[in-house]
């Protein structure tokens, strides 16, 4: 199976004619060729003799590196397809695809509401920051008091810190079967 793809992209290069590769940059050129009969393909650089590229029998692909302009020629009819001659940008005549957005009129009520909302947000953030600072200062004072008490009594600071912590809720007792006895709260929920 031979894939020819889009037939409209193929160009006939008759015997004696040349196909120009116009780009000036160094690039890789990929030629898809299809010859009805065996033919030789030549590449001519400006100011030099043609260079033999390939002997083509049927459908083939030729890849080479080229810098500057060049012309392709062959000694028999040849169908050729390359991305070198494809149009990359087509001018857009008569159509406009952009529309300048018109600025909407200001809504003073909305702006006033936004202003008050931002004042409330800033007030809440300031309150939260002051609460955080107060809590942090309280923890620093507790730590300093524990360190001072530890240095005066000679006991480790860790032991004194554990004594100052509030007592946790006691664990429920186990009944004889290894299950925990329900406390008063659980008994009310189940009833």
Q: CA 41 to CA 82: how far, in whole Å?
A: 14
The most confident of 50-54, 101-105, 133-137, 176-180, by mean pLDDT: 133-137
Q: What is the pLDDT of residues 25-65, one digit of tens each?
A: 888 888 888 888 899 988 888 888 888 989 988 888 888 88
Q: Which CATH class is domain 7-83?
A: mainly beta
Phi, psi at 52, each rounded to 5°: -70, 125
Average pLDDT, the chain: 79
What is the predicted pLDDT for the residue at 190? Answer: 55
**pTM for this model (two decimals):** 0.42
**How far from 189 is each of 174, 181, 183, 184, 186, CA to CA, in Å?**
19, 14, 10, 9, 5
Q: What is the pLDDT of residues 59-97, one digit of tens each?
A: 888 888 888 888 888 888 888 888 766 554 445 555 666
């Amino acid at each position: 199976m031979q894939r020819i793809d889009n037939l409209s992209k193929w160009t006939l290069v008759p015997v004696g004619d040349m196909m120009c590769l116009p780009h000036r940059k160094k690039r890789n050129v990929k030629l898809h060729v299809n010859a009805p009969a065996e033919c030789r393909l030549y590449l001519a650089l400006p100011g030099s003799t043609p260079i033999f590229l390939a002997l083509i029998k049927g459908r083939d692909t030729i890849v080479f590196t080229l810098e500057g302009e060049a012309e392709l020629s062959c000694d028999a009819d040849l169908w050729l397809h390359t991305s070198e001659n494809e149009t990359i940008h087509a001018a857009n005549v008569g159509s406009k695809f952009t529309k300048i957005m018109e600025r909407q009129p200001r809504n003073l009520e909305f702006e006033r509401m936004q202003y008050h909302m931002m004042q409330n947000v800033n007030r809440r953030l300031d309150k939260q920051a002051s609460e955080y600072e107060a809590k942090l200062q309280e923890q620093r004072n507790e730590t300093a008091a524990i360190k001072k008490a530890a240095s005066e009594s000679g006991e480790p600071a860790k032991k004194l810190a554990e004594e100052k912590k509030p007592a946790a809720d006691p664990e429920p007792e186990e009944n004889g079967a290894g299950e925990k006895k329900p406390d008063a709260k659980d008994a009310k929920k189940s009833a």
